[in-house]
Amino acid sequence: MNRTRIPLVAGNWKMNKGPAEAGAFVRDLLESSTHAETSAAASPRAEVAVFPPPVSLPAVAEVLKGTPIAYGGQNCHWKSKGAFTGETAPAFLAELGCRYVLVGHSERRNLFGENDETCGKKMAAALAAGIEPLLCCGETLSERESGLTFKVVERQLRAALGGLPAAAQFTVAYEPVWAIGTGRTATPAQAGEAHAFIRQWLGANLAPEVATRTRLLYGGSVKPDNFGDLLKQPDVDGALIGGASLELASFSALADSATSYLTGLIS
Ligand code: PGA
C-alpha cells in the first residue's frame, strides 16, 4: 500500500441481510468500530463502506448517514428513469446518501448478462448522479490459464473507463473470478502484478494524476489472515470483501488491518 491514498475496506453483502438484519449490523459496526469516530481527525483511518441489497439501503442509511462509514449500491441502471422494471436509477441511490455504487461485479456479468458496454454506461451515469462508481474487473480461471489475464482486464478497463474525463473520481476493484467465494485468494504477487498493470493503464490512457490518486482494491476470498500480505503490495489500496464482510468480527479486523498499515503500525 502506498500511504498517500486512504485505503478502502468495502463489504459487498451480495444477496444477504434484509432490512432488519442490515440495520442491526451497521448499528453494531458503528458502536464497535474505531472507524466511526469523528473526533479523531488527527489519526488517519482506513475508510469503511458497506454495500447492502437495495431494499436494505434505507435501513442502513438511517443509521450511517452523517457518520464516517459509507454505504453504496451493488448495481444501478444508466438511465435516470423510465420503463425498466426491477432497476434502480443512480439518482435514487444518491437520494439515500450512497457514496458509491458497484459496477460490473463478475456475478452481474456472469449471471445477469452485464457486459463491457453496459458497464461503461453505468460508470458515466453514476458519475453524473454524483456517486463514485467502483468498477470490478478480473479474469476467469480459463482466461488466466490461457495467458489472457492482462488482455481481459485491459478490455474491461477500456470499455468502462476509456471515455471518462481525467477529473472523474472512481475506484477499481481487481477481482479474479476464480478467487471470488472460492477460498482461493490470489497470491500477493499475482494481485500486485495485476494492480500494477491497472495503475499503469490508468496513467497511459487517462492521465498520470488519475493513476496516482485512484484507489485499486483487491477482491476474492479476502480474510483477516491473508489481507496483511496483500496490503504489502504497493498498488493494493484496500479490498472488496464478500464472505468476510458478513461477520462483524472479521469485517472489523480487516478495517483495523488497513488502518494499521496506513498509520505505519505494520509495514
Ligand atoms: P468473496 O467475494 O470475498 O466472498 O470472495 C468478493 C466479491 O465478490 O466482491
**pLDDT attached to residue 146:** 97
**Which atom of ligand 1 is the closest one to the Cα of 240?**
9
Q: Which residues of 173-187 are buried (b: 16+ CB within 10 A; e: fewer)?
A: bbbbbbbbeeeebbe
Q: Are 191 and 144 in contact (CB under 8 A)?
A: no
**Which atom of ligand 1 is the closest one to the Cα of 181?**
5
**pLDDT attached to residue 43:** 74
Residues with CB under 6 A from ligand 1: 12, 175, 180-181, 219-222, 240-244
**pLDDT attached to residue 145:** 95
What type of residue is 9? V
Q: If you measure from the C-alpha of residue 3 to the centroid of ligand 1, how many angstroms do you get, rounded to a whole number?
A: 24
**pLDDT attached to residue 108:** 98
**pLDDT attached to residue 263:** 86
What type of residue is 59? A
Given the residues 77, 107, 175, 195, the one annotated as active site: 175
47 has catalytic annotation: no
Nearest-CA residue for atom 2 of ligand 1 = 242
**pLDDT attached to residue 110:** 95
Rounded distance, CA 76 to CA 72, Å? 10
Residue tagged 474505531 (cell numbers) = 34
Q: How many CB atoms lie within 10 A of CB 144?
A: 19
175 has catalytic annotation: yes
Q: If you measure from the C-alpha of residue 196 to the centroid of ligand 1, how many angstroms do you get, rounded to a whole number?
A: 21
**Which atom of ligand 1 is the closest one to the Cα of 107?**
8
Give pLDDT tens digits along the chain (267 positions).
777 899 999 999 999 999 999 999 999 999 987 776 665 555 789 999 999 999 999 999 999 999 999 999 999 999 999 999 999 999 999 999 999 999 999 999 999 999 999 999 999 999 999 999 999 999 999 999 999 999 999 999 999 999 899 899 999 999 999 999 999 999 999 999 999 999 999 999 999 999 999 999 999 999 999 999 999 999 999 999 999 999 999 999 999 999 988 888 666
Delineate the domains of the chain, giving CATH numbers in brackets: 8-266 (3.20.20.70)
Rounded distance, CA 222 to CA 245, Å? 9
Given the residues 47, 105, 114, 143, the one annotated as active site: 105
